[in-house]
Amino acid sequence: MKVQLGVNIDHVATLRQARRAAFPDPVDAAAICLSAGADYIVVHWRKDGRHIQTKDVALLCKYFPKKVHLECSYTPEAEKIALKYKPYSVCIVPEQPGEVTTMGGLNFTPAVQKRIAQMVERLHKKGILVSLFISPVADEVRMAARLGADIVELCTRDYSEATSPKQAQRRLQELSLAALLAKELGLEVHAGHGLDYLNVLAVADIGGMRCMNIGFAIITRSLFAGLPQAVEEMKDLL
Ligand code: PXP
């Protein structure tokens, strides 16, 4: 089975917000990505509103039902938006004020476990699939299954930042083992963070890998190649 591609279009909105303008519009970007072969559109709603706005979530969910994968934290405010606009799926991620990007997988303290379990239940009641963004570690995979997730998104940050082929190989091994366990536990396996045209293949080749969520590399490539070509090139690799 081919690996699916979720294109994260946050940085189309970053560009728009740089001038507080009406364009470039993430809705236009989503339409282009989908017609170029993207399987899903990924957006991260952040409390600080640095890129995707609530109205973007509303419009994307309206125009592209079954195609929007919403990343957000487990705050009541984020949950309210997810429940209101009903994306196809929600990926719960950790969010720290001031971070440049998501720094890693969820930290499952007892309070966070309780909060996520409640959120998963309420999202499921609305028919929304739930993904948890986790480090590729066996205990975290088991925790995701215990909390009722449908999907785990394995964080590829450490892999993408590996400083030697040996280190990259070790990170890939961790990802493979986590993917294997997730499959055994009945979870769908996604991966994302820091993936690009050069490092994506090794992750896509991991057994059981279903979907790669990629943003920065595709949107920055699109500045020179155009968005349809940037998406097509990535889709061809998968
Ligand atoms: N998956 C998750 C959970 C993320 O938080 C991000 C970054 O927003 C991505 C995937 C995409 O990462 P990148 O922009 O580095 O491709």
Average pLDDT over residues 74-85: 96
Closest CA to 124 of 155, 93, 86: 86
C-alpha angle 22-48-131 in degrees, rounded to nearest 5: 100
Above pLDDT 90, what percent of the chain? 92
pTM assigned to the model: 0.95
Mean of the per-residue pLDDT values for the chain?
Answer: 95
Which residue of 4, 8, 72, 140 sits with most ligand 1 atoms within 8 Å of its CB, as the best mutation to test the pocket? 8
Q: What is the DSSP letter of 203?
A: H
pLDDT over threshold 80, residue 103? no
Residues pairing with 25 in the sheet = none
Give the chain's domain count.
Answer: 1
Plot region of 91 (φ>0 → left; ψ -120 to 50 → alpha; else → beta): beta
pLDDT over threshold 90, residue 49? no
Residue 185 has a pLDDT of 97
Sequence-separated (6 or more) residues with CB below 8 Å from residue 104: 94, 135, 155, 157
CATH of the domain at 33: 3.20.20.70
Which tens digit of pLDDT belongs to each residue from 186-223? 999 999 999 999 999 999 999 999 999 999 999 999 99
Rounded to the nearest whole angstrom, what is the distance from the C-alpha of residue 118 to the centroid of ligand 1? 24
Domain of residue 182 covers 4-237
Which tens digit of pLDDT belongs to each residue from 11-46? 999 999 999 999 999 999 999 999 999 999 999 999
